[in-house]
Amino acid sequence: MRLKRNSEAGRALGLVATVLLSLLSLILLLGGLGGFWGSVFGQADRLARSEDRYEFRAGEHPAGINKYYMGRQIAHVVSGNENALWLERPEREKEEQTTEMIELLKLKPGDVAADIGAGTGYITWRMAKKVAPNGKVYAQEVQQEMLDMVAENMKKRGVTNVIFTLGTATDAKLPANALDLIIMVDVYHEFDHPYEMGESLVRALKAGGRLVFVEFRKEDPKVPIYEPHKMSEAQVKKEMAVFPLEHAQTFTNLPWQHVIVFKKKELVPSVPKNVRIVE
């Protein structure tokens, strides 16, 4: 009789143990699934917040796309041979006074700079001459055919201090905290992810480094350029206000464009009020 009772007690304990193990397994499974779905929904939430930056609607102008950022219609990208012909047109110096624009940048030997959306390298080689012999210029493009064109033109001119960089629509692929100056000549308004690209460019600047926009003046109706390919100074400032930048100056002495310059702020760590600094 005693053995029978012990056997029944053993079976009961075994059953309890099995139930407990099953419950534990279920809890672990649900926990894992919870983490998995939490990750999925968290990622979706992050993507939604990112896409919330942009508005998608029918474009007001055929030279722009159906995407808006901070109220601005993003322009169509002009690419390939059409872009090359525009960039290298004989009248460009007269219309844009690029020589004077380069002088406004006050580049000096040893500077590290970047020409974003370098195109044919029209601006790149002029900058490269200014920072030589020890400085360098990153010629950045998202189109390989244009980057190949830059490389060919640099070879023809004997320019050797240019680094060719293929970026993406959201990342310029530049080294972090390394550049003294980044310039975009009639380029920024075509970025289809301006926030992400702006973030990428600011990340690449040294503290005190300059981010330069050369854009056709939207404020001037006489400038013969399609509206989505123009930008006002106020709009550029509005879009840069989300980054650790301060507006340094704006040059308006070019025929059709303004040169809008920002500097990257130096981030100074704050000290709590109850902490005393001993010198």
23 with 102, same domain: the answer is: no
Instruction: State how many domains the chain has.
Output: 2
Kindly state whether residue 272 falls inside one of the protein's structural domains: no
CATH assignment at residue 142: 3.40.50.150
45 with 100, same domain: the answer is: no
Kindly state whether residue 101 falls inside one of the protein's structural domains: yes
138 with 186, same domain: the answer is: yes
Instruction: Check: CB of residue 226 under 8 Å from CB of residue 194.
Output: no
Task: Give the domain range for residue 144.
Answer: 80-264
How much is the pLDDT for 22? 58
30 with 84, same domain: the answer is: no
Coil vs helix vs strand at 50: helix
Kindly state whether residue 66 falls inside one of the protein's structural domains: no
Distance between CA 220 and CA 15 in Å, rounded? 85
How much is the pLDDT for 30? 46
182 with 260, same domain: the answer is: yes
Q: What is the pTM of this model?
A: 0.79
Kindly state whether residue 75 falls inside one of the protein's structural domains: no
142 with 86, same domain: the answer is: yes
pLDDT in tens, 36-68: 434 433 443 443 466 689 999 999 999 999 999
Low-confidence ranges of the chain (pLDDT < 70): 1-51, 80, 268-279
Distance between CA 187 and CA 156 in Å, rounded? 25
How much is the pLDDT for 78? 82
Q: Are strands 179-185 and 245-251 parallel, antiparallel or unpaired?
A: unpaired
Buried b (16+ CB within 10 A) or exposed e, 210-242: bbbbbbbbbeeeeeebebbbbbbbebbeebbee
Distance between CA 253 and CA 101 in Å, rounded? 9
Residue of 154, 215, 157, 206 lying closest to 183 (CA atoms):
215
How much is the pLDDT for 254? 97
7 with 104, same domain: the answer is: no
Instruction: Check: CB of residue 54 under 8 Å from CB of residue 192.
Output: no
Tell me which of 9, 33, 52 is where a domain ends: 52
pLDDT in tens, 89-99: 999 999 999 99
243 with 150, same domain: the answer is: yes
C-alpha of 222 from chain center: 31
